[in-house]
Each structure stands twice: as C-alpha cells, then as structure tokens.
Structure 1
Amino acid sequence: MSVQARNNVVVKGQGPLTLVFAHGFGCDQNMWRMVEPTFAKRYRTVLFDMVGCGKSDVGAYDIDKYSTLAGYAEDIVEIIQEFKQGPVVFIGHSVGAMAGVMAANLSPGLISAHAMVGPSPSYITDEDYPGGFTRDDIDALLSTLESNYLGWSSAMAPRIMGNSETPELGAELTNSFCQTDPNIAKRFARVTFLTDSREDVRQLREPVLVIQSSDDFIAPRAVGEYLTQVIDDCRMVLVENEGHCPHLSQPAACIEAIQTFLDQTCGHLPA
C-alpha cells in the first residue's frame, strides 16, 4: 500500500519550503481549507488524513500500531520523506501538533520548524503543569465517549469549536466526528487525552510557533505559556478567539501568525 493512498496525501503548490498540515482528533485535512490555500500560492503544501480519519485507507488501521501516538508519528515521517522538497515546516492542530513533535524526535533534522495551533502536551494537571483537567475529568470524558460516541460528539463538538455566533462551524465539527468510525475514534481519543508528551516537547531544538486562542477550554492559555518556557526557541501568538479551532474561526489571524513566523525563520532553516 502506498503512503499516498494510506493517508490520502494531497500535494499542492511549489516553493522554497514544504508546509505539512496535520489535523486534530475527529477531524481531517479539510479543516485546513481556510488556511492552506493561501500558502499553496508560495510554498509546497502537503495535506493528509491520519489513518482512520477522513479519506484515509481504514484497512490500514492496526490496533497495536495506533495504540500510541508513535504509530501516527511514524506515518508522518514516511509522508515527509516521500513528499518534501526543501526544508519542512510542520503545521499541526492539537494532537496533530504533538504527533509532529514525536516525528521530529524520531527522525532528527527531518522537520525544520513547527507551527502549533492549540497544542497540549498533556491534558492532565499535576503539581507543576497546568493541563486544564484532572485525571477524573479525563476518565469521565472517555467513559461518556465510549458509551455513547454519537451523543458525545453532538454535545462536545460545538463546545470545542466555540464561537456560538457561527453555529455552522460547530455543526461541521459534529459531522466530522460522526463520520469517523466509532471504534477507531474511541481508541484515538485515549491516545489523544492520555498521552503525556512533555518530555518530547522538551527535546525539540527547532523553532516553534504556538498559536493560542484567548479562550480555549481544551488547551488553555497557561499550556501555551508552558511551552514557551520549556522549548528552547518558542514564541506564542495569542489570537482573540473562543474555542479550540482558530484555523476555522479566525483563519486570517492564523495565516498572519504563520506567515510572520515563516518570514522570520525561513532564512535560518537548514536546507
């Protein structure tokens, strides 16, 4: 099976950089439709669906491989190796950003910079880390999701999206959640909400941009601030936005932040 077919890889544009876009839990590459086309005019862009999501080959889903984030990171390494031209900037949303972190650590030098939208290396608060949730919160969320995935999706997607003045975005996210195979979604939810990537982010040596919504209950502002403290070269841009998906609800602000980051870092990226 080809990497292209497995992950429904779509390549567009030409330019001095390759921008690889990774979606978050319950989503697919279509979630980048308001951001990616702008960059395809200047750069090579690579979109893909994680196995089990979107139009990926569900037949490629292996329970053991994808029981940890490392399985998704291995796929990302293969995607980049096959489709990159020039330095690679990995643009990931939520858990997609953490998969990119793991891919960078699996294959040092493969990714030259990261732009992370709503990232969280761990959703569980402990003594020195403000994850935003207790372990009991996460266990209750997963229990509800596993017992009634469609009901959970209908209730949670609008809250995750936020921006109540644009309910069509919440409806779109609900539909995206509901199109994912429930059994795969339940397993991916455990990977998403129980993975602790704090040591992984500490290992990053590439430049990092964190795009942080001003009001995001999934990845609160304190998490973005934490990343700026533990990653050597990390800057944060705060976008005035309610919800976890500013690339859909505030795409112009995300485009501006990413382009500024590229302008500032392009000249320093290794070929």
Structure 2
Amino acid sequence: MVTSILPRNNVNVLGNSGQTLIFAHGFGTDQTAWRHQIPAFADRYRIVLFDQVGAGKSDFAAYSPHRYSSLYSYAEDLLDLCAELKLKDSILIGHSVSGMVSLLAALVEPQYFCKLIFIGASPRYLNDINYIGGFEQADLDQLYAAMAANYYAWASGFAPLVMGNPDKPELAIEYANTLSAIRPDIAQAVARVIFQSDHRDKLPRLKIPVDILQSNNDIAVPLEVGQYMAQKIANSTLTNIPTTGHLPHLSAPEIVTRAIASCLANI
C-alpha cells in the first residue's frame, strides 16, 4: 500500500491564498529549520512545509535504502507533493541537498515551479579536475567511518563545523540534536547518497530561473561552487550573502529572510 504523501512527508500547509512557497530543508534538519522565515511570508503567500523521508516527523517506515539510493527518489517525493496539492508556478526555497532535489524535480515537471531559490546548494561535493567541490574522497571516507563508529559522538563534533558561528554555541547544539534525531542507519545512507552525488551535467538543462544564495566560510559548499552553478545555469543569479556557515537561515535568519524577499521581489 502506497502511503499518502501528506502523512508520509509530514506536509503542512499554511494559508490558502497567494502564490505558493515551498520550503525544503537540508540534511540533518527538518521543516522546523524554517521557523524564522515563515512569519515574514505567511501573510502574502501560501506556504508548504514538509520533512524528507527519514527526517523530522516523516513516516520512517516509508524509508528504505534501496528506494532512497539516489536524489531522484527525493525528487519523486517532491513531485508527489506538488501533484497532491495541485500546485503550479510555485517558488521553491531549497537548502543544501534540497537544491539539487528541486532541480531534478523541475527538469521532470517544470510546470510546478516558476523559480528556485538555492541556499547552500551543491551539484557535487567532491573535488574533481577543474572543479572545487570542497572534499576529497579520503575526507568523506573518514566521515563515513566516524558516523559508523559512534554516530552520536560524530553528530556532536560535526554540528559545530557545519554550523560555524562559534560565538553562538546554542546553534551547534540545536543542529546536533536534529542530527541525533535521525536513525543512525538512515543518516549514514543518506550522507553517502548526498556526498557521492554528481549532478553537474543537469545544471545547463534547467530553464527555470534560479537565485543562488551563497554563504561565506561554508565547510560543505565553498564559494567556488556557487560561482560554478551560476556559470552553468543560464537563467541564474548569484548573491553572496554576508553570513557564515552552512545553515545561515538558522544562524543569521534576518539576513536570509531579506535575501529571499529580494528574490521574490524580482518575479
């Protein structure tokens, strides 16, 4: 029996008027990561929030490593959501891995989207010839080994590195807690899917406008990645926002909210 997308992905819809904004979270977080942004847009837009399968309050029984062996399965879930809610010309704000998930979805069913907004997105995390992704394979192998050895200790050490902003330790603690809420086997499998993915060849195929918001000192997504995407996606703009770390919507919410508002103003 196929589980309905709404309970499977813990879909929440706020408001019923105006253009639709879909907020899609990144690895290690859930829809609550957008709590600072929602109030700024709730009065003018219909807002759709959801949890990727395996995260937040999604149906963990719907997860299988075979089904979610690539980002395409997450893109299929996003398309299920759009179909179920009968969306059209929506705007998707995707953090981290949800940037590429939304890109893959938009290539299949472009009518659902009129704009994508990437925050800390990357088509490939591994360095390659003439490409800086940020990691060597040896780095990732060490990461996977640490996750397997003691997942909760790994989460506590990984969170401050990814969050940045050492002057706000409470943010790293929050991120460590949401990482720790994921089942360790799911987290390890999803991390491999994300970090070993390569969707660089899909970038030139996207015709929908994309706004790329790039943070500084992001251990997961170097500045060169944003520049690379802007070069490869024809209808794109790159904005370097004055924030640090990989989760600026949590560490500098006002700046990110203003950046999103600027992107929406250009529609």
Matches within 5 A, 1:169-208: 169-208=171-210
Question: Contact 1:214–1:241 (CA<8 Å) still a contact in 2?
Answer: yes
**Normalising by the residue count of structure 2, what TM-score does the alignment of the two structures yield?**
0.96
Partner of 2:245: 243
| One-letter code aligned to 2:232 | V
Matched position secondary structure for 1:259: helix
**Normalising by the residue count of structure 1, what TM-score does the alignment of the two structures yield?**
0.94
- Using a 3 Å threshold, how does the CA distance of structure 1 residues 104 and 86 change in structure 2: closer, same or farther? closer
| One-letter code aligned to 1:52 | G
Instruction: Give the superposition deviation at 1:254.
Output: 1.2
Question: Contact 2:5–2:80 (CA<8 Å) still a contact in 1?
Answer: yes
Structure 1 gaps, min length 5: 266-271
Question: Contact 1:46–1:83 (CA<8 Å) still a contact in 2?
Answer: no
Q: Distance in 2 between matches of 1:190 and 1:202?
A: 25
Partner of 1:218: 220
Q: Is residue 168 of structure 1 aligned with residue 161 of structure 2? A: no
- Select which of 67, 81, 84 maps to 2:83: 81
Instruction: Give the superposition deviation at 1:102.
Output: 1.0
Instruction: Give the superposition deviation at 1:84.
Output: 4.7
Partner of 2:22: 20
Partner of 1:7: 9
Identify which range, 175-184 or 15-24, moves more after superposition.
15-24
Matches within 5 A, 1:6-155: 6-155=8-157
Q: How many residue pairs end up in the alignment?
A: 265
Identity %: 42
| One-letter code aligned to 2:200 | R
Identify which range, 7-16 or 166-175, moves more after superposition.
7-16
- For residues 58-91 of structure 1, the C-alpha deviation after alignment (integer angstroms, 9 at most, x for no partner) is 1111221101111111000011122254421111
Question: Contact 1:163–1:242 (CA<8 Å) still a contact in 2?
Answer: yes
Q: Distance in 1 between matches of 2:13 and 2:141?
A: 38
Matched position secondary structure for 2:110: coil
Partner of 2:230: 228
Question: Contact 1:122–1:197 (CA<8 Å) still a contact in 2?
Answer: yes
Instruction: Give the superposition deviation at 1:165.
Output: 1.2
Instruction: Give the superposition deviation at 1:112.
Output: 1.5
Question: Contact 1:90–1:114 (CA<8 Å) still a contact in 2?
Answer: yes
Q: Distance in 2 between matches of 1:43 and 1:105?
A: 24
- For residues 2-49 of structure 1, the C-alpha deviation after alignment (integer angstroms, 9 at most, x for no partner) is 211000000002443111111111111011111122111110110000
Identify which range, 138-147 or 225-234, moves more after superposition.
138-147
Q: Distance in 1 between matches of 2:158 and 2:204?
A: 31
Question: Contact 2:89–2:111 (CA<8 Å) still a contact in 1?
Answer: no
Instruction: Give the superposition deviation at 1:228.
Output: 0.7
Question: Contact 2:88–2:111 (CA<8 Å) still a contact in 1?
Answer: no
Question: Contact 1:14–1:42 (CA<8 Å) still a contact in 2?
Answer: no
Matched position secondary structure for 1:125: coil
Q: Distance in 1 between matches of 2:245 and 2:32?
A: 18
Instruction: Give the superposition deviation at 1:160.
Output: 0.5
Partner of 1:268: none
Q: Distance in 2 between matches of 1:188 and 1:38?
A: 31
Q: Is residue 258 of structure 1 aligned with residue 228 of structure 2? A: no
Question: Contact 1:14–1:40 (CA<8 Å) still a contact in 2?
Answer: no
